[in-house]
Structure 1
Amino acid sequence: MSVTMWDVFRDPVFRQCDPLIAAGRAGLDHEIRWAYTQERYDVTKFLSGGELLIIEGSSLAALDDAALQGYIDALADAGVSGLAIELVDYFRDVPSAIVSEADSRGLPVIGMRKRAPFVDLCQEINTRIVREQMLANIEMDTLSTSLRRRLADAASASDVASVLYRVLGEPIVIFGTDCGIVASAGMDGEALADLWREWSFLMISVRSGGVTVATVGVSQRFSIIGLPVRDVIRAELDRCLPSFIPQSIEFKIRMKLLAGARDGVSAKDAEIVESEEMMGALGFLKGSRCFVFALVFSAPGIRIPRFAAELRDKARHDGENGRTDVLFLMEGNAIYGCFLSDDAYATSAGFNESCRTLLTTFLSLDVWVLAGVATTGAAGLLNGLTMVRYAVAHGQPNWGHITPLNDGVYSRMLDIERTDDAVDMLIGQIAGRLLPGDAMLVDTLRVLAESDGSKTEACTRLGVKRQTLYNRLDKVTELTGIEQRDHKAWNSLLTVARLIAARRNGQ
């Protein structure tokens, strides 16, 4: 168990200070890593996040409202868990500027109306934190030992589900990556749908060989499972469950294709060639159009198999001009996937439209959809899935809406340490693999960018007729899936063209 700001407020030693909750009630569940006292205004230089800061307010007494708000902002930005301020000498009430800013930032502020030695307060809270950490470690060791001993006798996925149910005391459902239910324990099959609607489930991804092979749903009907317990469960499941999940050659190919680039940044030539061979093994041309996506659920449940069935039914089509299909996998509370098409007569714009239209049918208030654009071949698939996974892991869910994948490309770029890797990612995600190799198209986009989007000026500088320019831009859309009407993505493409040209010219 961790120590939170609520625990501090209720602590017997702290209660001697006659505390009141002055602001930031929304953050009272913040966990405290350490209690600390320091009066300096620039105290954040000495903090690393998670602290309870206890002050008498001497450095704040003469400050105006703007400075007080800046102080609270600095604490919130530093990840401080809460502030306790003495209301004896320098303040009788918590200043309104602190209250309003702390409320807006969700930073708990406790006023202490009676004096107590700060050393006693810090000692009480820090001792409690250490004690709780020791108890938590013992609990984790006991849980890990119990799970490992019992799972050693498991002979099937059903046995694994039963062991988890007995040890955790919570109903269990095990999903395959195809979203089908592999096993369950602690619930009647006929009542499964009703139970999913009523209970909250924690979804744990189980991995083997670097890819997800199953997802385990653990009910939180009777208790909330925290991160340390989740990590223990995941470690034991990674150890035993994969051996009970069928993994055919086709299964492994699909998992590798949907894992994205190996380095988590951008696909390299060797893995692109390997992935083209994998696409061929699944019956797709290496030049197939690809459209990546993710469906993220705030409350995943028994409807996930239904979503998967609808995905297959709506996306699969065999016609005279080619084949359209979908690859997807369930991983935690998300479905990652890619629509693929060999239809020789379909345009990138048309494929974009059909994929987005299909994805809108899955929208609801607890579903967030991430949608890419039509790209070509394995490079587009790998780079797109890499970006999708980053967006799910680091983005802010916009429940009930579709978020264009390229909206987050610059944030992703800034999060990559090496400049060359960041540029590789940006080029791969926006331009794909084919466009950078076409000097004429790159120069056309570069000149258009340098002409501030003026097609008349671009035609003059390129020495071509307007229809020739239009034909080139249409070809760009076919290669990248980015349409001119998508102004944000198109401007990113113009920027990328200038980067490609600069690299080519050694600038």
Structure 2
Amino acid sequence: MTVSIRSVLHNTQFKRADPVVEVEGKDLDMPVRWVFTNEREDVSSFLSGGEMLIIEGNALLAADWHGTLGQYVASLAQAGVAALVVELVEGVVRMPDELVSAARLHGLTLIGLKSRVPFVDICQSVNTAIVHEQMHLQLEVDTMSTSLREGLSRTGNIEAVAETIASLFGESVAIFDGDGLLAARAGRAFDAGNESSAVIALESRSRPVGALEITQRTMTFDATMRRAIATIVSPVAALYIDGGARMGMMHHLSMGPADGVHVNTFEAQEAHAMLEALGFAGSCIYMPFAFRFRSVVEGINHVSTMVERFEELSGCAVSCMMEGDLMVGWCSTTDSSDGAAAFGRHCMDALAVLEGDGIYVVHGRVALDTVTLVDGFAVLRDIANHEPAYGRVVSTMSALVDRFVASSDMDKAMRMLVVQTIGFEVAASPLLLDTLCACFDNLDSKTGACEQLGIRRQTLYNRLDKVTQMVGVDYNDKPNWSMLLFAAKLTKSWQEQHGE
């Protein structure tokens, strides 16, 4: 059993210090990787995540500290610290309000110690328990790995693979191929939504093979156990359900540009060739998406329904690829006669079917070409992998402000903002950029924008329609249009300050 914050609270030495949970962060069952003490203000730069940090309360008032307590907590949360423990015995005997507020804001567990116990005694006791658990877990993993390898060596099809895993662990198992189709099932029926399960990504030769979902009725599969299962099962499953070069090309496209912002010329040419090989014509337009499943067994039928309904539309298709609990892909159409905005609405109507179904849906904006499609995946995966809000449908634009503010590289942040909103073509057009800025300045009042620009209303609408044709966002789509105007204003200011 992994040592968690909750189990540390019940440790004999720790209990002697009379611990009080001042702020219960994201989860008291969060694993604790190590317990140590260090009272440097910049301690976060030495951390790798999962630590429980113990400090004396007086350290918070150290003269050589230059930042605020809020900044200190933010740095610990950013480093992935499991919990901050503060001794409140001498000098500082009450948890500072600023520290408490910051811990609540960042979801960091904050614990106060009301009695003095040597920190070395606490660290030694808890860390010894952690090492014992790690050794016990490794023994379990080694035993499981040996049994699993022996069992899989005698399988001859994917159904036998599922049966072997289900029999070994006494759990129910479902295996899905790279397209998200059920390939095999074993054990009694899943009680999706009412019981815990683990979803494990299967991959081989650096490309996705599919997903394995296993119930957790009798045991919990932690990260170490899941990695071991994936390592052993993946090459065997790939013998029967490998998607081949097609899956490899889709995976390559969905990884986005190498710099995480915008494709270069070589990447664009390579991506275009891959799309052609996958059967997509140069006239196609796309909307990229990513689905995070709470349970693939529970959610995959809802996705199938969504795909069937969308593909009933003329020229429309859905291409997707399963990577464990993440499905990545795009909606596309060869019939763009109604325009990009209309296609975007069709996509949104289809994705809305998944709302409330235990799936976190993230979608990009409409991509009118290969470059915009691949660029769209640059932020799509990051958002989908960040604390999924199951049951919600969100756009990448809705998360851009947070990503922009969090970036320490302003030049890269601006490039990312342009790529994901107005695009470089609009950014390079003074006429269109000034038009969007005028709309921003006048709170999107068309009358005010016309007066500021000295143009007629129809001229304004012609320009806005041109923007819609170029970026696929309609001015009737208020949330995304507002983000577009905000991005245009920032881009204009950036260009003026940097002489671009």
Deviation at 1:351, TM superposition (A): 1.4
Whether contact under 8 Å (2:286, 2:332) holds in the other structure is yes
Distance of 2:261 and 2:71 partners within structure 1: 37
SS in 2 for 1:148: helix
Quick one: which of 212, 215, 221 aligns to 1:216? 212
Between the two proteins, what is the percent identity of the paired residues?
26
Distance of 2:492 and 2:102 partners within structure 1: 44
Q: TM-score, normalised by structure 1?
A: 0.79
* Residue aligning to 1:83: 85
> Which letter maps to 2:307?
R
Question: Per the alignment, do residues 336 and 54 of structure 1 end up closer, same or farther by CA in structure 2, a change over 3 Å counting?
Answer: closer
SS in 1 for 2:297: coil
Quick one: which of 103, 106, 109 aligns to 1:107? 109
Question: Which piece of structure 1 moves more, 174-183 or 255-264?
Answer: 255-264
Quick one: which of 197, 204, 209 aligns to 1:201? 197
Question: Per the alignment, do residues 60 and 376 of structure 1 end up closer, same or farther by CA in structure 2, a change over 3 Å counting?
Answer: closer
Question: Per the alignment, do residues 142 and 466 of structure 1 end up closer, same or farther by CA in structure 2, a change over 3 Å counting?
Answer: same
Question: Which piece of structure 1 moves more, 427-436 or 212-221?
Answer: 427-436
Question: Which piece of structure 1 moves more, 264-273 or 337-346?
Answer: 264-273
Deviation at 1:110, TM superposition (A): 5.3
* Residue aligning to 2:377: 385
Given the alignment of the two structures, is residue 19 of structure 1 paired with residue 18 of structure 2, yes or no? yes
What is the count of residue pairs matched by the alignment?
481
* Residue aligning to 1:491: 485
Whether contact under 8 Å (1:202, 1:219) holds in the other structure is yes
Distance of 2:252 and 2:24 partners within structure 1: 45
> Which letter maps to 2:329?
G
Quick one: which of 444, 453, 463 aligns to 2:431? 444
Question: Per the alignment, do residues 42 and 414 of structure 1 end up closer, same or farther by CA in structure 2, a change over 3 Å counting?
Answer: closer
Question: Per the alignment, do residues 13 and 433 of structure 1 end up closer, same or farther by CA in structure 2, a change over 3 Å counting?
Answer: closer
Quick one: which of 305, 310, 313 aligns to 1:315? 310
> Which letter maps to 1:242?
A
Question: Per the alignment, do residues 45 and 254 of structure 1 end up closer, same or farther by CA in structure 2, a change over 3 Å counting?
Answer: closer
SS in 1 for 2:199: strand
Question: Per the alignment, do residues 432 and 212 of structure 1 end up closer, same or farther by CA in structure 2, a change over 3 Å counting?
Answer: farther
Whether contact under 8 Å (2:208, 2:247) holds in the other structure is no
Question: Which piece of structure 1 moves more, 286-295 or 421-430?
Answer: 421-430
Deviation at 1:253, TM superposition (A): 4.7
Question: Which piece of structure 1 moves more, 293-302 or 204-213?
Answer: 293-302
Given the alignment of the two structures, is residue 406 of structure 1 paired with residue 393 of structure 2, yes or no? no
Distance of 1:296 and 1:197 partners within structure 2: 15
Structure 1 residues 221-236: aligned runs within 5 Å: 221-236=217-232
Q: Give 5+ residue unaligned stretches, structure 2.
A: 443-447
> Which letter maps to 1:353?
R
* Residue aligning to 2:129: 128
Distance of 1:326 and 1:263 partners within structure 2: 27
Quick one: which of 265, 271, 276 aligns to 1:275? 271
Whether contact under 8 Å (1:4, 1:30) holds in the other structure is yes
SS in 1 for 2:391: coil
Structure 1 residues 327-338: aligned runs within 5 Å: 327-338=319-330
Question: Per the alignment, do residues 29 and 302 of structure 1 end up closer, same or farther by CA in structure 2, a change over 3 Å counting?
Answer: closer
Whether contact under 8 Å (1:430, 1:492) holds in the other structure is no
Whether contact under 8 Å (1:55, 1:85) holds in the other structure is yes
Q: Could you report, residue by residue, the CA deviation over 1:447-504 in whole angstroms, capped at 9, with x for unpaired residues?
A: 33565466436645xxx7654443233122112112234333322552576499789x
Question: Per the alignment, do residues 97 and 467 of structure 1 end up closer, same or farther by CA in structure 2, a change over 3 Å counting?
Answer: closer
Between Structure 1 and Structure 2, whose CA radius of gyration is higher? 1
* Residue aligning to 1:471: 462
Distance of 1:499 and 1:151 partners within structure 2: 61
> Which letter maps to 2:306?
L
Q: Give 5+ residue unaligned stretches, structure 1.
A: none
Distance of 1:332 and 1:499 partners within structure 2: 42
Deviation at 1:325, TM superposition (A): 1.5
Question: Per the alignment, do residues 287 and 348 of structure 1 end up closer, same or farther by CA in structure 2, a change over 3 Å counting?
Answer: same
Whether contact under 8 Å (1:37, 1:55) holds in the other structure is yes
Whether contact under 8 Å (1:260, 1:384) holds in the other structure is yes
Whether contact under 8 Å (2:287, 2:330) holds in the other structure is yes
Quick one: which of 323, 329, 333 aligns to 1:341? 333
Deviation at 1:363, TM superposition (A): 0.9
Whether contact under 8 Å (2:340, 2:468) holds in the other structure is yes
Q: TM-score, normalised by structure 2?
A: 0.80
Structure 1 residues 151-170: aligned runs within 5 Å: 151-170=152-171
Deviation at 1:268, TM superposition (A): 3.0
Q: Could you report, residue by residue, the CA deviation over 1:306-365 in whole angstroms, capped at 9, with x for unpaired residues?
A: 22331332111464xxx1211122332233231111224212221122211221122116
Question: Which piece of structure 1 moves more, 224-233 or 415-424?
Answer: 415-424
Question: Per the alignment, do residues 185 and 502 of structure 1 end up closer, same or farther by CA in structure 2, a change over 3 Å counting?
Answer: farther
Distance of 1:444 and 1:86 partners within structure 2: 62
Distance of 1:96 and 1:375 partners within structure 2: 49
> Which letter maps to 1:339?
C
Structure 1 residues 60-79: aligned runs within 5 Å: 73=73, 77=77, 79=81
Q: Could you report, residue by residue, the CA deviation over 1:398-418 in whole angstroms, capped at 9, with x for unpaired residues?
A: 343321212223544677787
SS in 2 for 1:397: coil
Question: Per the alignment, do residues 102 and 424 of structure 1 end up closer, same or farther by CA in structure 2, a change over 3 Å counting?
Answer: closer
Q: Could you report, residue by residue, the CA deviation over 1:162-198 in whole angstroms, capped at 9, with x for unpaired residues?
A: 33223333221101122221012222xxx45xx3343
Question: Which piece of structure 1 moves more, 229-238 or 442-451?
Answer: 442-451
Distance of 2:402 and 2:61 partners within structure 1: 39
SS in 2 for 1:198: coil
* Residue aligning to 1:482: 473
Q: Could you report, residue by residue, the CA deviation over 1:421-462 in whole angstroms, capped at 9, with x for unpaired residues?
A: 6555444333457657xx5xx1212333565466436645xx
Given the alignment of the two structures, is residue 7 of structure 1 paired with residue 11 of structure 2, yes or no? no
Whether contact under 8 Å (1:349, 1:478) holds in the other structure is yes
Distance of 1:398 and 1:224 partners within structure 2: 22
Given the alignment of the two structures, is residue 362 of structure 1 paired with residue 354 of structure 2, yes or no? yes
Distance of 1:21 and 1:390 partners within structure 2: 35
Whether contact under 8 Å (1:61, 1:90) holds in the other structure is no
Question: Per the alignment, do residues 9 and 490 of structure 1 end up closer, same or farther by CA in structure 2, a change over 3 Å counting?
Answer: closer
Deviation at 1:154, TM superposition (A): 3.2
> Which letter maps to 1:445?
L
Q: Could you report, residue by residue, the CA deviation over 1:112-132 in whole angstroms, capped at 9, with x for unpaired residues?
A: 55x554433332222222333
Distance of 1:245 and 1:239 partners within structure 2: 10
> Which letter maps to 1:381?
L
Distance of 1:55 and 1:255 partners within structure 2: 45
* Residue aligning to 1:182: 183
Whether contact under 8 Å (1:76, 1:107) holds in the other structure is no
Distance of 1:61 and 1:259 partners within structure 2: 46
* Residue aligning to 2:445: none
Deviation at 1:243, TM superposition (A): 2.0
